[in-house]
A and B are shown apart, each in its own frame.
Chain A
Amino acid sequence: MSPRLPAPGCVDVYRQVLDHTLVDADDLPCGCVDDIELEGAPGEPLRIAALLVGPGAWGPRLPALFARLVRWMGGRQVVRVPWSEVAELGEQIRLRSNALRLGLGLTDRKLGLRIAKLPGSEAVSR
């Protein structure tokens, strides 16, 4: 049976949100939805509070041994992107703000500044 898209107004968290790439307001990829934070108590409606990004979010989803390895190598850093920041769901999840404002893509920025000293690092090649 072919899976169906959810009814209008609903979101299929597993198929439309989890493990999708995030793209910021400037069209720059800035990570994947590594985990999802839900809020609500039993008997109340569950809501997505935030999308979690970073090794601290996807590491624990792996089998225990690998989870420990990820924690040791990649740290436990997690960035919380509030659900209200989500502008659009699709192939990629579009965010309303710039990645840096949300705390995403910091590693790229740091590394980028270092690379910037090399000749040809600014060249956009087609």
Chain B
Amino acid sequence: MKILELFLGILTAMGGFVEIGELTFMMNAGGIFDYRLLWVVLLGTIGIIVYGEIAGRVAAVRAQPVFDIVRERAGIRLGLLTLVASVLVCLLTCAAEIGAIALLWQLASGWPYRGLILLALAFFLLVVWFVPFKGIERIFGLLGLLMVVFVGLAWSMHPDWGDVAKGFVPSVPRAGEGKTLLYAYYTIALISSVMLPYETYFYASGAIEDKWTPRDLGTNRAIVIVGFLLGGVLAASLLVVGKLYLGPKHIEAGLPGTAALAAASRFGAIGLWTALAGMFFAFAGAAIETALCCAYNTAQFFGWPWGKFRAPRTAPRFVACWVIVFVLAAVVVLTGVDPVQVVEYSIVFSVVILPLTYFPLMAISRDRDVMGVHANGVVANTLGWFYFVVISIAAVAAIPLLLLTHGGQG
């Protein structure tokens, strides 16, 4: 039983790893810079493993989710700033996922885009209201695994493995190419898309929904390390597909449909439908996670009852929060903005709030008074602070780079 739990946990973490922002940025990064940004995928993946492990450990030992800690350690002023920023970023991400799902459905059915957005909204409200937490986690995580079709695709396109390996060594494009700024922008966007903050919020809140105790610390470690590493492999395959499929044709993966076409070009109709279904479940999982995160964060910050483990009647403000977020997210994409544009902004702004979220988390997880024997060891401390420096630099550079590169247009 325990083994099965672990296995499912790992697969869920892998299946929930990719969303629309990551998909677009990975494919474009491959298309523009060949394999040169693969090291960033590795860097980001280890980063999310480090913070995911810490957040899961604190949740298991202290039963405290992330925003409880933010409030306690950062106080009301900085804490409220972090809360507002994180809710805005999650809302934008949720909007992008809903828009992307409507695009996918449009590709499959030919129905009007705006109608499909409303249909997606209704779908999400019903699913989150009626389906229990475990069910949501498992359905969308496991079916999101259909995205492995892209790993198969990358494999079947016979990349030059020597070149792929070289991509894991950091390198900067030569000065003459004039793409240095764009390269820097993509570096930050890829780190951010892999380390999206909602992943840790959701993971820690989920650990409390599942009533983890210090006995689950081994499970926590295995799930984040193996699950996120496999997720990283999936992300890296998207980059490889981007290089091999988009690179030669100079196409920018502006739409999720491009990814589906890449699968169709190799595996035919089966590839197309697997890719579409995989993307649907992966994006839907992300939409649900981001909407729930807004509700988790707000409720935890103000000390309201929260959680899917409570009946909606006993946690009504929590429920009201996620309902409002879904509706607002749908309104954002109903205005007609391009979901891929929305996700670009959400990803760049996400990196700005990463340090605000992770500082309180580091402060509490290394504190022996509150964590006892489960406080950070040398490895978690060293890696934690190393990544804190990395995300702080990225946070400072993100918005100037967004402006300098005209939103990644070069």
What is A's interface to B at a CB cutoff of 8 Å?
Answer: 2-5, 18-22, 28-32, 34, 53, 58, 61-63, 66, 91, 105, 107-108, 111-112, 114-116, 118, 120-126
Q: Does B369 contact A (CB under 8 A)?
A: yes
Give the chain A neighbours of B305 by CB distance below 8 A.
28-30, 105, 108
Given contacts A91-B62, A125-B309, A112 and B314 within 8 Å (CB-CB):
yes
Residues B302 and A62 in contact, CB atoms below 8 Å apart: no
Given contacts A5-B369, A34-B76, A58-B76, A116 and B313 within 8 Å (CB-CB):
yes
B57-89 CB mask vs A (1 if < 8 Å, else 0) is 000001110001001100111011000000000
Q: How far is the CA of A76 from the CA of B10 in the complex (A)?
A: 47
Q: Which size bracket describes the interface of B in this complex?
A: 35 or more
Q: Does B359 contact A (CB under 8 A)?
A: no
Q: Which residue of A lies closest to B299 (CB)?
A: A29
Nearest CB of chain B from residue A10's CB, rounded to whole Å? 14
Given contacts A3-B367, A108-B316, A118-B312, A31 and B303 within 8 Å (CB-CB):
yes
Residues B319 and A115 in contact, CB atoms below 8 Å apart: yes
Q: Which residue of A lies closest to B77 (CB)?
A: A62
Q: Which residue of A lies closest to B80 (CB)?
A: A62
Nearest CB of chain A from residue B362's CB, rounded to whole Å? 13
Residues B68 and A111 in contact, CB atoms below 8 Å apart: no
16 more A-B residue pairs beyond the given contacts A4-B369, A91-B370, with a C-beta to C-beta distance below 8 A:
A19-B76, A19-B79, A29-B304, A32-B303, A62-B76, A91-B63, A107-B317, A108-B314, A108-B316, A111-B320, A112-B314, A118-B312, A120-B130, A124-B309, A124-B310, A126-B133
Residues B368 and A2 in contact, CB atoms below 8 Å apart: yes
Residues B317 and A125 in contact, CB atoms below 8 Å apart: no
Nearest CB of chain B from residue A105's CB, rounded to whole Å? 8
Residues B75 and A115 in contact, CB atoms below 8 Å apart: no
Q: How far is the CA of A107 from the CA of B302 in the complex (A)?
A: 13
Given contacts A91-B63, A121-B311, A124-B309, A32 and B71 within 8 Å (CB-CB):
yes
Q: How far is the CA of A124 from the CA of B133 in the complex (A)?
A: 10
Q: Does B132 contact A (CB under 8 A)?
A: yes
Residues B72 and A19 in contact, CB atoms below 8 Å apart: yes
Residues B316 and A111 in contact, CB atoms below 8 Å apart: yes
Q: Can you spell out 15 A-B residue pairs with CB atoms less than 8 angstroms apart?
A: A2-B369, A19-B79, A21-B68, A28-B314, A32-B301, A91-B63, A105-B305, A108-B304, A108-B315, A108-B317, A120-B130, A122-B313, A125-B135, A126-B134, A126-B309
Chain B, interface SS category:
helix
Residues A115 and B72 in contact, CB atoms below 8 Å apart: no
Give the chain A neighbours of B300 by CB distance below 8 A.
21
Residues A115 and B64 in contact, CB atoms below 8 Å apart: no
Residues B367 and A122 in contact, CB atoms below 8 Å apart: no
Q: How far is the CA of A120 from the CA of B311 in the complex (A)?
A: 8
* Residue of B131, B134, B319 with highest tally of chain A CB at under 10 A: B319
Given contacts A21-B68, A62-B80, A125-B133, A112 and B369 within 8 Å (CB-CB):
no
B365-406 CB mask vs A (1 if < 8 Å, else 0) is 001111000000000000000000000000000000000000
Residues B317 and A120 in contact, CB atoms below 8 Å apart: no
Residues A19 and B63 in contact, CB atoms below 8 Å apart: no
Give the chain A neighbours of B314 by CB distance below 8 A.
28, 108, 112
Nearest CB of chain A from residue B302's CB, rounded to whole Å? 6
Q: How far is the CA of A97 from the CA of B75 in the complex (A)?
A: 26
Give the chain A neighbours of B134 by CB distance below 8 A.
126
Q: Does B155 contact A (CB under 8 A)?
A: no
Q: How far is the CA of A66 from the CA of B129 in the complex (A)?
A: 33
**Beta-carbon contacts under 8 Å, B282-318 to A:** 300-306, 308-317
**Beta-carbon contacts under 8 Å, B238-279 to A:** none
Q: How far is the CA of A62 from the CA of B80 in the complex (A)?
A: 9
Q: Which 8 A-B pairs have the closest CB atoms?
A: A125-B132, A111-B316, A32-B303, A21-B303, A31-B303, A112-B316, A121-B313, A121-B312
Nearest CB of chain B from residue A6's CB, rounded to whole Å? 10
Q: How far is the CA of A100 from the CA of B80 in the complex (A)?
A: 26
B317-349 CB mask vs A (1 if < 8 Å, else 0) is 101100000000000000000000000000000
